[in-house]
A and B are shown apart, each in its own frame.
Chain A
Amino acid sequence: MVHKRFKFLGVAAVVLLMAMACGGNSGGGNTKQYKIGLVTDIGGLNDKSFNHLAFVGLEKAKTDFGIKDDVTESHSGNDYVPNLTSFAQKNYDLVIGVGFLMQEAMGTVSGRFPNIHFAIIDGAGTDDKGNDLKHANVQSLYFKEQDAGAMVGVIAGWLEKNSKAKKNKHVIGAVGGISIPPVNHYIAGYKWAATMEDPSIKVLVGYSNDFTDPAKCKGVAQSQINQNADVEFQVAGGCGLGVLQAAGQAGVYSIGVDADQKDADPSVIASALKKVDVATYTAIKNVVNGQFQGGALTFSIANAGAGYQVDNLSVPAELQTELNSVEAKIKAGTLTPPADIP
């Protein structure tokens, strides 16, 4: 019995030593091959949104820097801690967590592995009360969602003011998933810019309390459409696809979020973009260049980390001029979309 136990420990130790040896210098020779691990949230890689974009950024970094990239999808909230831990204990050079939902897990795991670098999209490493632990080995990749929200808000407001929308009753809507900061930033920029374009506009804001089930968002959108909203902005991830469908069925316009959602429904006239791919790529680039820094890194229109995309709409020249002007002003800092819903 004793022998067996020692044997097991011996094998474990050898495996560990080998892993450490490999981790330190896996490429052999002079150039070190960096190992980057990506942990998705429960949306999975095919969410056409954050997780997908993070993967796009990872792939680009792989092409440019020859990194070794590995991905683990989380299937439930139970998976965050073990998935992050798995890469960390294998001495990866950067472990990236996608999404706000992973904050507490990130805080826990980064505390256990102070020598491993972590990055988290849209969040920080927090304790169980939601306070940022400010671990020096965690980089928070934040976005000024209000920048992107403002650009699509300009489109919605301009259409209402110039009677180019479907009902033109000066009512537009926004459907949020859960009332959390990233969602509200989007809606804040949207409402602010739409009101700037069309001061008589009424912006309906609703929440589905869900990020995954399209049926729940569809109901909220339908009730807004019944109140004469004819541009529906979804800020609810996979749930929000129901908003786009509801708009399509009611014959009104919709606006996608996070990624380009042109193909999700013909009613999508534009998408507010959070360039998670740019953020992921930048975080990896910093590690490869030895410039990793803990703390926040914010992506906005100013550093091409946020923006908009026109989809199933032919933009009149006047609107395009307005869009360019607002974008330039935000970039220059003369216009600042608010972070809180006005």
Chain B
Amino acid sequence: MSTRPRPPLMPPIVRRLVRGLGMPLGSVLLAFVLGGLIVAATGGNPFSAYAALVCGGFGIGCTQGENPALQISNTIVFVIPLITAGVAVALPFRAGLFNIGAEGQLLAGSIACTAVGIKFSSLPAPILLPMVLISGMVAGALWAGVAGVLKATIGAHEVVTTIMMNYIAQWLLRYLIIGGPLQLAPGTSKSSPIGPGARLATILPNDNSLIILGLPSSVFRVHTGLFIALAAAAVFAFLLWRTSLGYEIRAVGQSQKAARYAGVSVRRTIIVTMLIAGAFSGLAGAIEIAGVDHNLTDKYFSDTTGFDAIAVALLGLGSAVGIVLAAILFGALHAGGAVMQADANISGNLVFVLQALILFSIAANFVGAIRQRIPGLGRPTALPPEMPPAAPLMTEAAAPPAEA
């Protein structure tokens, strides 16, 4: 080793960026290579599969008559709830909490949004639209708050309680629209539609006779919820890095003991974190109702947005920009899967294989990150701030907060 410090190869900002992007990009790349091998091993052509996937997700390089703008529009519709729910998973991550309950909170939000949107369906949009979105947020917050309070008071593990709350939400939804008070009519499995004032406008007019880019403009379903989702991501970043609450959340996530020593109320932080996270999830559910479906239907029985959001938050390394990028990837995979099946004759289930492989590679890197912390095994470097607190997730969060 020379005594003179070597001049850095890259400016620090670039190096940070590369280090931050290396893990998720590597994970995605690895997943696609392995996925390609699986396709090839089962007799398919991975290149045509991925070409169709890119066409379906991003509208690039379509050869079979897909309308690029329509593909992009479809992707964005899937991306919107993923961003909002992704934030709801990422925020508790920062506090060392694992929110598996985004799905249940999302359902609670969609139920509340629908109930209010039906009950007050005659109100004008400027009053009703904020009402349905806020009621969705409140319902989601309460749903997650239960887990937060249980964690903070009796130490019930949030992984268990949020999973259980998912089931309660799913069955509550079933009851409400099959035989319950929200059911449209006997024999149906959906609710009445929400009032016109409760609906988020589509960006292009919802008009079957107006032709845009060769298609009726109503097929482009992108709605103004996109801006709400992006605002949610911005609020998340601001909250986390520019407010004292964000500092407390991060402090609790890094070390509950140190946070307590610094005068942070761990219990209060846990409860507040879960409330805010639930509000984001509930907002995602409300946006889906107000922007896409306009009523609760049986499609919510098979909805997995809240679970995909976990992968989005992990892949996005818990940062706002990362979540948006990861949501775009997952939304594109979702939209592209159908085109891949129709055009390349590769089962759309490959998309789930890819998602699982991405998660798997991230989880493997978690192990690497933890190993780095054990002296003698690797460089004793601290986790970069972009990383979600993996170690507390495995250890400290499992124990109830022992607050005096």
Contact residues of A with B, CB < 8 Å? 12-13, 15-16, 18-20, 22-23, 37, 42, 70-83, 85-87, 89-91, 101, 104, 111-114, 128-130, 178-181, 184, 209-210, 212
Contacts and interface: CB of A to CB of B under 8 A. Distances in A.
Contact of A129 (B184, B213, B221, B338): B184
Contacts of A128: 193, 294-295
A16 B213 contact: yes
Contacts of A87: 342
Nearest to A75: B348
A89 B219 contact: yes
B91 interface: no
B297 A104 contact: yes
B68 A209 contact: no
Interface string B157-192: 000000000000000001000110000111111101
9 contacts: A19-B64, A72-B338, A72-B341, A74-B338, A78-B334, A79-B334, A85-B70, A130-B190, A179-B187
Interface string B123-155: 000000000000000000000000000000000
B189 A178 contact: yes
B302 A12 contact: no
A96 B282 CA distance: 35
A87 B351 CA distance: 20
Interface residues of B, number: 55
B338 A180 contact: no
Contacts of B352: 75
Contact of A81 (B174, B216, B221, B339): B221
A178 B298 CA distance: 11
B145 to A, nearest CB: 27
Contacts of B348: 72-73, 75
Contacts of B64: 19, 90
Contacts of B78: 78
A81 B337 CA distance: 14
Nearest to B62: A15
B74 interface: yes
Contacts of B292: 78
Given A76-B303, A89-B67, A129 B192 contact: yes
Most buried by A among B65, B70, B214: B65
Interface string B297-318: 1111111100000000000000
A15 B304 CA distance: 34
Contacts of B297: 77, 104
Given A37-B342, A78-B303, 20 more contacts: A19-B64, A71-B341, A75-B337, A75-B351, A76-B303, A77-B297, A79-B338, A80-B299, A81-B221, A83-B338, A86-B338, A86-B339, A91-B65, A101-B298, A104-B190, A104-B297, A112-B219, A128-B193, A128-B294, A129-B192
Nearest to B352: A75
Contacts of A101: 298-299
Residue with the greatest number of chain A CB neighbours at <10 A, chosen from B67, B70, B208, B339:
B67
A181 B187 contact: yes
A129 B194 CA distance: 11
A112 B67 CA distance: 15
Nearest to A81: B221
A76 B298 CA distance: 10
Contacts of B65: 15-16, 18-20, 22-23, 89-91
Contacts of A74: 338
Interface in B57-81: 62, 64-70, 74, 77-78
B365 interface: no
B218 A112 contact: yes
B222 to A, nearest CB: 12
B393 to A, nearest CB: 28
Output the residue of A78, A90, A209 with the most chain B CB within 10 A: A78
A83 to B, nearest CB: 5
A75 B304 CA distance: 10
Given A82-B338, A86-B342, A77 B298 contact: yes
B342 A112 contact: no
Contact of B342 (A71, A78, A181): A71
Contacts of A82: 74, 77, 335, 338
A79 B342 CA distance: 13
Contacts of B67: 12, 15-16, 89
A76 B302 contact: yes
A114 to B, nearest CB: 8
A76 B215 contact: no
Interface string B184-212: 11111110110000000000000010000
A78 B188 contact: no
Nearest to A108: B218
B372 interface: no
A178 B187 CA distance: 8
B335 A72 contact: no
Contacts of B193: 128-129
B4 to A, nearest CB: 47
Interface string B316-347: 00000000000000000011011101110001
A94 to B, nearest CB: 14
Contacts of B338: 72-74, 79, 82-83, 86
A70 B187 contact: no
A78 B213 contact: no
Contacts of A209: 174, 178-179
B209 to A, nearest CB: 9
Contacts of B66: 19, 86, 89-90
A180 B188 contact: yes
Contacts of B219: 85, 89, 112
A77 B297 CA distance: 9
Nearest to B343: A70
Contact of B68 (A12, A22, A78): A12
Nearest to B337: A75
B398 to A, nearest CB: 29
B346 to A, nearest CB: 11
